[in-house]
Structure 1
Amino acid sequence: MKCLDTDYETLLLTEPSPGVVVVALNRPDRSNAMTDTMFAELEHAALGLDAEDDCRVVIVTGTGANFCVGYDLADADELPGLGAMEMLDQQERAARALLAIRSLRVPVIAAVEGAAAGGGLALALAADIRLGSSTAKFNAAFVRIGLSAGDLGTSWLLTRLVGPAAAGDICFTGRLVRAAEAAEIGLINRLSEDGALDDALELAESIVANSPGGVQLSKRALQANMEVSSYAAALELENRGQALLTRGADMPEALTAFKEKRAPVFTGQ
């Protein structure tokens, strides 16, 4: 993939197996704290990966002991001095990065070790699936530094994952949600005993084994139907996806493989 040849200052991109790309936040000395450069590079990497037909699953993780502790407070001193439009520009740059990750047409898995705080929590929430090791801990730290949890999609995504009452508890207190509780309330899909990245790679392989078009349109339907207002609208969106997929090569191949009692060979065509 061409996008893997890019040298990033704050990210490390690798392809551990065909079609699976790991995007690792790479500032371990700062617990992978976010900077303007990281936001710009996340957006650039996501847009590049979205253009790669060979990319089937993206795993987002962190190097070192932590996933991401949020915005680097070493850079935060300048924020109160920015003008309103300057601050809006910086906020929108960060939001575009997370939107680009969430909007990837392929599934995104967050593999969380250690802290996912503030913007790090928002990044984990932007993934389709979250796995956490026993060291994983989450918090919406915004209120602890005089900001709102209405940041980088957190208020929208967290509420839909854990419900409004649990989201309120987490956001109003800024308390830590440790791995066991995160699994219990649905903040993570499951607790990984052998390491979140290892389990994420195994999960990615099981996704890659399926029809590329089927997976991508499943993601599109799941995300879009979080926003439509009616069952009828959801059915309409689903109908279009299924109609498109029956025109491709993968569904006939799957049926033939089933009859011949062999594994299907999917091409995404």
Structure 2
Amino acid sequence: MEKTPEDRPEVQEPDLDESEDDFALGSLDFSGLSPTDFEEFCFDLVSESGFSNVDWRKGTPLAASPSDRGRDIVASKTLRDIDGHEYQERWFIDCKHYARGVPPDALQGTLAWANADRPAVVLFIASGYLTNGAKDWVAKYERSNRPPFRIRVWEKPQLLRLVETNLDLAFKHDVGTSTLRRVTEILAAESELMDRLWYGRKPSDEDVATREDLSEDLKAGLLASKRRMEEQYGVEELAKDVSSDWTWGYLSGRISAVRWVLGDDWHNLDS
């Protein structure tokens, strides 16, 4: 039987400006993050989203978090009445990093603890989505139990909109996006370009052999380093970088741009 709108769980989204001029990401990719990495991302996301007193209840330096008592993060949200009176809501936040949809049994422990501790809101943050079964279970739980707290869910669409307003979070936590490469990819590109810049600046083997200002040890070390570069990138590929002024300038421009993205000043061509 098809469910009516009243039977379906409400997935509320963060309050965000939906201006058409906002920068739009195409997608988010959390596959490179461990569950602990995802919790750390959620901690920073909550901290940057207007919450205070954000407490990551990891409880142990180990990868697992057995001491969180049903919530990974506890945070406060300041609200204001129309007369100016301010008060704080306490939120329990549970982070769910699943390769597939989050099942109903992954939510039950958090709600059991919430019934005992009485927060104002229980928020589930999923790196993907809750399964349809989980959403139906939440809706039935709310109808049957009328809990003393609200249940909120942030899935990938909500996370996408939040990250759009703070791209530094994606960069810091190595979250993949369709418009921003991972930090690890950028660092790997910078490393290769620096190697190629170094190789292109070195004298030929013949010139090295005739240099009188270099000791034999330095000559041997230089030649050995050149052989490693050639083995890694290929002699023909490295030769392209110095085949003309244009190709050398192109290499220099690429490494300058990548380093600027990583926080360096423009025109840093150190090798």
Question: Normalised by the size of structure 1, how large is the TM-score?
Answer: 0.22
Q: Which of 1 and 2 has higher RCO (CA within 8 Å, sep 6+)?
A: 2
